[in-house]
Chain A
Amino acid sequence: MTTNDAELLEAMMLTRAFEEQNRALQAAGKAPGTCASVGQEAAAVGVIKALGKDDLILTNHRSAGHLLARGAEPGRVLAEIMGRSSGYCKGKSGSLHISAKELGVVLTSTIVGGELSMAPGVALALSMQKSRAIVACVFGDGAACEGSFHESLNLAAVWNLPILYVCENNQWQAYVHRRETMLTEKIAARAAAYGIKGITVDGNDVQAVHAAAREAAAEVRATKKPILLETYTYRTWGHYEPDDQSYVDSKELTEWRERDPIEYLKGRLLARREIETREIEAIETRVKQRIADALAFASESPFPSAAELATDVYA
């Protein structure tokens, strides 16, 4: 699957605008806080846009970019966050565990590592069905310190499961910097310990991420062997809104903000005359409108009735 640069740009801009809307809603007391994906748009969009339509996705609590890049309706994601019955999970999930079967999103896990423990089972089912689809399992560098990371990669390697493991190494594990919890710089190096391939790519360069993910996905599909792809990036907003980031080294933050993935792509495309300012403005207008529509849809949606409290517990 190839996606052109304007599409990649639009998907990143939509995610950013969505997160900004979330933050505003949270500040106004109209929605609970969320774990924003700002700064990581290239990592999210580059990978998800590299997947085929039958491929399945398991991701983590910072999933807005993954859901939207997959084609989720912003209105239904926002409705879920705002606890409305028109959300993807009828308002029973909230932002932290959204799944959307129709989009192949099996799980957004708020248990750090939960997505890793489930991925082999999802991939096993695909492989028993002789499907050509693969599973993309997205997690953070924090999850890579959980035991489930080791168990999952080892089992997937031993059982030849078609999983593209995607570690979004955003340098943070909630309020702890990655340097405090691991001595190595790159997560991808761990792949060798399981006998599988590990790749690190610049997670702020959407074109690089997209190319690497396309290639890796094709290899997983062809070989039925897992690959560990690391997108090296940075979480430029706080862990969970609101978060004043007072604990962050301001020099480091400034450096990474200067490498903003959206501005980076815009600058490169403009410099090479691969896009015109007019087109970027047109994208901006479209994105604004979609977010405004999403907000209207979610705000007008009803809350679930109290009778829904104990439904869907059992089949």
Chain B
Amino acid sequence: MTQMTVNDAIGRALAEEMRRDSRVIMFGEGVATKRQDLLKEFGAERIRNTPLAEGVIAGTAVGAAAMGLRPVIDMLFAPFLCYAMDEIVNSAGKLRYVSGGQFSFPMVVMAMTGGGWGVGAQHNHNLEAWFAHAPGLKVVMPSTADDFRGLLKSSIRDDNPVMFFTDMTLGYTPGEVSEADGAIPLGQAAIRRAGKDLTIVSYSKAVHACVAAAQQLEGMNVAAEVIDLRTIKPLDEATLLASVRKTGRLLVVTEASGLCGVAAEVAALAAEKAFGALKAPVARLTGPDAPTPSSHALEQAYLPTAEGIAAAAKKLVSAGG
């Protein structure tokens, strides 16, 4: 185990995968400038700067993937994905299907989301649900340095297009990273904390607030089980449902807004498949249906906090039988 930040863990995963497979290439607005170490080791053919043209950056990845390369593109901030929706949703997500399986699209689209940086609405938007709703795409959103490395490695090795979201503030969070190959399969949630009284499900930065809330709850004699989804699609139904069946109570926490979001999906899943085990209605704690404000005070109000999560959990535990 080595201690490193999430950003360094991402860099390490990229270098390891590029070393392992000569088909892996990376391009984007400034990647060759910002990842000098990769440029030095792998050369200008495999690490490229691009013009400011998100649509064709994504389209080029799709074309390269169709030809057997394994492109990783850095789209910078998630809202810029709006310029590349056609290429990601209509091409990357659909062309395997409409070609009857003739072509595959092994590519990774990286982007940053998450509040805490004061960059405002046009640089911060949690868009994971949009892509989870589109067929043919996978969606990964880790919370720890080791997961970032391990899940990025699996995303690069996956033969499908993968959306890989990094919460901006997590980038500078250090954590233990394993020495071994360390690839972590997509579609496996992690149980961050075991407990019997309720299940708290989350992903990305909000997981840390959930773990902090669970610590507070412990002092109130409530044992919360915290599940980190790690990948939104494929969704680890088995871990999720097993936990709900054990605890009988579910609180879903996301930074993204609620309507038609990941929390709604998780709640529906529990209602559909574990209804008999539920002792109380499923609760959701999500961001508001509002663009992200820039003002630090408002931005903090946007984010789920440990106190808010603990309060919601407490209420849930006192409700029902």
Tell me the A residues contacting B by CB distance below 8 Å: 58, 87-93, 97, 99-101, 106-107, 111, 113-114, 116-126, 128, 147-148, 151-152, 154-155, 158-159, 311-315
Interface presence of B45 (CB below 8 A): yes
**Chain B residue contacts of A117, Cβ below 8 A:** 55-56, 58-60, 62-63, 86-87, 91
A88 to B100: give the CA distance in the assembly, Å.
8
**A111, A114, A123 — most chain B CB neighbours (10 Å):** A114
- Selecting from B12-20, B65-73, B242-250, the interface stretch reads B65-73
| Nearest CB on A from B55, distance (A) | 6
Docked-complex contact A125 and B100, CB < 8 angstroms = no
Closest to A137 in B: B63
Docked-complex contact B100 and A126, CB < 8 angstroms = no
A120 to B25: give the CA distance in the assembly, Å.
14
* CB contact under 8 A between A147 and B64, given known A89-B98, A99-B99: no
Docked-complex contact B102 and A148, CB < 8 angstroms = no
Docked-complex contact A118 and B66, CB < 8 angstroms = yes
Docked-complex contact B63 and A125, CB < 8 angstroms = yes
A313 in complex: contacting residue of B59, B135, B159, CB < 8 Å: B135
A122 to B65: give the CA distance in the assembly, Å.
8
A312 to B103: give the CA distance in the assembly, Å.
10
Closest to B69 in A: A125
Docked-complex contact A124 and B63, CB < 8 angstroms = yes
**CB contacts between A and B, total, < 8 Å:** 139
* CB contact under 8 A between A124 and B100, given known A117-B91, A151-B51: no
A92 in complex: contacting residue of B68, B71, B90, B100, CB < 8 Å: B100
Interface presence of B254 (CB below 8 A): no
Docked-complex contact B64 and A90, CB < 8 angstroms = no
Docked-complex contact A101 and B51, CB < 8 angstroms = no
Closest to A88 in B: B100
Interface size class of B (residues with CB under 8 A): 35 or more
A68 to B60: give the CA distance in the assembly, Å.
27
**A93, A99, A147, A151 — most chain B CB neighbours (10 Å):** A151
Residue-by-residue, is B186-228 near A (CB-CB < 8 Å gives 1, otherwise 0)? 0000000000000000000000000000000000000000000
Docked-complex contact B69 and A106, CB < 8 angstroms = no
A128 to B46: give the CA distance in the assembly, Å.
9
**B48, B59, B102, B159 — most chain A CB neighbours (10 Å):** B59
Interface presence of B96 (CB below 8 A): yes
Docked-complex contact A126 and B67, CB < 8 angstroms = yes
* CB contact under 8 A between A89 and B99, given known A114-B91, A120-B59, A148-B55: yes
Interface presence of B113 (CB below 8 A): no
A313 to B92: give the CA distance in the assembly, Å.
11
| Nearest CB on A from B208, distance (A) | 31
30 examples of A-B residue contacts, CB within 8 angstroms: A88-B100, A89-B98, A90-B100, A90-B101, A92-B97, A97-B95, A99-B98, A111-B86, A114-B87, A116-B59, A118-B59, A118-B66, A118-B87, A119-B63, A120-B63, A121-B61, A121-B71, A122-B64, A124-B63, A124-B64, A125-B67, A125-B69, A151-B59, A155-B50, A155-B56, A159-B48, A312-B99, A313-B135, A315-B96, A315-B159
Docked-complex contact A155 and B51, CB < 8 angstroms = yes
Docked-complex contact A312 and B97, CB < 8 angstroms = yes
* CB contact under 8 A between A312 and B101, given known A114-B59, A158-B51: yes
User: 8 Å CB contacts to A: which residues of B19-55?
Assistant: 25, 45, 48, 50-51, 53, 55
B102 in complex: contacting residue of A89, A111, A119, A128, CB < 8 Å: A89
**Chain B residue contacts of A124, Cβ below 8 A:** 60, 63-64, 69
Docked-complex contact A89 and B91, CB < 8 angstroms = no
Closest to B101 in A: A312
A126 to B60: give the CA distance in the assembly, Å.
12
Residue-by-residue, is B98-139 near A (CB-CB < 8 Å gives 1, otherwise 0)? 111111101000000000000000000000000000011000
Closest to B106 in A: A315
Docked-complex contact B96 and A128, CB < 8 angstroms = no
Closest to A89 in B: B100
**Chain B residue contacts of A114, Cβ below 8 A:** 59, 86-87, 90-91
